[in-house]
Structure 1
Amino acid sequence: MALLRTDKITMQFSGLTAVLDLNIEINDREIIGLIGPNGAGKTTAFNMITGVYKPTKGQVYYNDKDVTGLKPHEITKFGIARTFQNIRLFKELTVLDNVIIANHLRLKSNLFGSVVRTPGYRKEEQQIYEKSMALLKDVGLDDLKDEKSSNLPYGKQRRLEIARALATDPKLLLLDEPAAGMNPQESHELMGFIREIRDKFDIAILMIEHHMQVVMGVCERIYVLDYGVTIAEGLPDAIQNDPKVIEAYLGVD
């Protein structure tokens, strides 16, 4: 059984078809790439999977359960987390507080417990602190826990955003252009980092990325979109030599 499966999901906006009949299948612990030129429909696909958009037609299945049209927070509770192309952090909060906030999705204490600070709430609060610190250590940011997140270099902000996503305990992590804005050294380090979090957290990863060295270096299978239509899918070697993919990216003479 696939961890995630989409069945011909389609998204239309005022008659314009952004994605047409997209079928994606992701198994446990796979690292999958979703690539294509600008405007190909990649982020729209992410938005349908994560509940930002309800598909015009088609279904999204997670662990064989139909999750089509659920709200983003409901999708996250099921075990699907994501990052965004434009980093979304609480800029004025510390690195640690950014991760602590993300943990509250799984908070068991109620409002009363948090107001009067019951023993159960204090225990859970300590557990969240310890979990957040462990996550920051996993992404190499524990020594910056008290730094304001807006002061971090771009590459470290990306890592913090991933730590926030991991705090929700996902089994599937969606990364939207994680190498965007990174220099070659940071991009190279990112490939190892993605493999590390897959192995350490025992998760599957679906990533949108324009940096072909990162895509070919870390993805095990790749889907290619062009104008919302899947034009190729398969192993990295086959994808980078596919004439349709080359034409989509480079055009033809």
Structure 2
Amino acid sequence: MSLLKTENVIMQFGGVVAVNDLNIDIKKGELAALIGPNGAGKTTAFNVITGVYTPTKGKVLFTPTDKKTGQTTEIDITGKKPDKITGLGIARTFQNIRLFKELTVLENALVATHTNVDYNFLSAILRTPKARKGERRAKSDCEFLLERLGLIDLKNEKASSLPYGQQRHLEIARALATNPQLLLLDEPAAGMNPQETDELTDLIFKLKTDFDLSIFMIEHHMDLVMEISDHIYVLDFGCTIAKGTPDEVQNNPKVIEAYLGVDEDVEN
């Protein structure tokens, strides 16, 4: 079953077409990757999906499952505000880490739980029993996430004091605190050393399984992509030049050309 689809999406900035006729189809339970050279339009595609940009043309369709009834409904999320899209069940991380550096690890996770609370602002101010119960549940849920991501012993530390790799883990924990059905990861291994990348590879696969997540990621570390992806889309200059399984993609001549170039002597 399709969870997220884009239909003929075009994102144009003036005379520059950053994304051209993008058609992706992320299945429920799938781990898909979006790859391509720098400037290929990958983050722009993520920004269209998450409502940062409204596409010039095309549609973005999301089909979440109601966790109470089990029913699914296809929703046109094209141009919806990012907070509305998050509330529907899509969370993301960013290429450049965007933590609240002066807040603690636990507070960073708690910030994201506002999408799931069942009490209002006035109840929180008045400290009603319902609000206090909701706050306790949110704290418990966040501590559970921090435990799963190896951060529970650091919950009272400022986010700015964490090593780079742990800051990446915290950003993922904060995204998970929104209780998503689809998690978008924008270059989660960026800046990591080989050991941290191996640990992240294991973590992403485990999160997909343990939290029943569908994951769509942008990544330049091909070992990571090829090891855990079910399906891969390849962009170059905003256009999809290949899609398929890891084996199909890494042997595709167009992908090899986009990454390595073509020897002009060979062409001639």
State how far apart, in whole Å, the 1-side matches of 2:258 and 2:18 are: 16
User: TM-score, normalization: structure 2?
Assistant: 0.93
1:153 to 152, 163, 166: 163
State how far apart, in whole Å, the 2-side matches of 1:159 and 1:54 are: 29
Percentage of pairs with the same residue: 61
Please state how far the C-alpha of 1:209 moved relative to its aligned partner.
0.3
2:100 to 90, 110, 135: 90
- SS class of match (1:29): coil
Q: Check if 1:71 corresponds to 2:69.
A: no
Aligned to 1:25: 25
State how far apart, in whole Å, the 2-side matches of 1:167 and 1:29 are: 19
- Give a deviation string over 1:28-60, Cα, whole Å, max 9, x none: 111001000000000000000000000000000
Please state how far the C-alpha of 1:120 moved relative to its aligned partner.
0.7
1:228 to 238, 254, 268: 238
Aligned to 1:132: 142
1:101 to 93, 106, 111: 111
State how far apart, in whole Å, the 2-side matches of 1:141 and 1:252 are: 46
Please state how far the C-alpha of 1:116 moved relative to its aligned partner.
1.1
Aligned to 1:203: 213
State how far apart, in whole Å, the 2-side matches of 1:183 and 1:230 are: 30
Aligned to 2:46: 46
Q: Check if 1:244 corresponds to 2:248.
A: no
State how far apart, in whole Å, the 2-side matches of 1:198 and 1:34 are: 17
User: TM-score, normalization: structure 1?
Assistant: 0.99
Please state how far the C-alpha of 1:15 moved relative to its aligned partner.
1.6
1:143 to 135, 149, 153: 153
State how far apart, in whole Å, the 2-side matches of 1:115 and 1:214 are: 46
State how far apart, in whole Å, the 1-side matches of 2:244 and 2:121 are: 49
Structure 2 runs not aligned, ≥5 long = 64-73, 264-268
Aligned to 2:66: none
Aligned to 2:133: 123
- SS class of match (1:91): coil
Please state how far the C-alpha of 1:107 moved relative to its aligned partner.
1.6
State how far apart, in whole Å, the 1-side matches of 2:59 and 2:224 are: 30
Amino acid at match of 1:25: D
Q: Could you list the structure 1 runs, at least 4 aligned residues long, displaced by more than 6 angstroms after superposition.
A: none
Aligned to 1:165: 175
Please state how far the C-alpha of 1:218 moved relative to its aligned partner.
1.1
- SS class of match (1:109): coil
Please state how far the C-alpha of 1:104 moved relative to its aligned partner.
1.3
Structure 1 runs not aligned, ≥5 long = none
- SS class of match (1:20): strand
Please state how far the C-alpha of 1:252 moved relative to its aligned partner.
1.0
State how far apart, in whole Å, the 2-side matches of 1:52 and 1:111 are: 26
Amino acid at match of 2:54: K
- SS class of match (1:3): strand
Please state how far the C-alpha of 1:165 moved relative to its aligned partner.
0.3
Amino acid at match of 2:259: Y
Aligned to 2:71: none
- SS class of match (2:220): coil
- SS class of match (1:173): strand
Aligned to 2:68: none
Please state how far the C-alpha of 1:108 moved relative to its aligned partner.
1.7
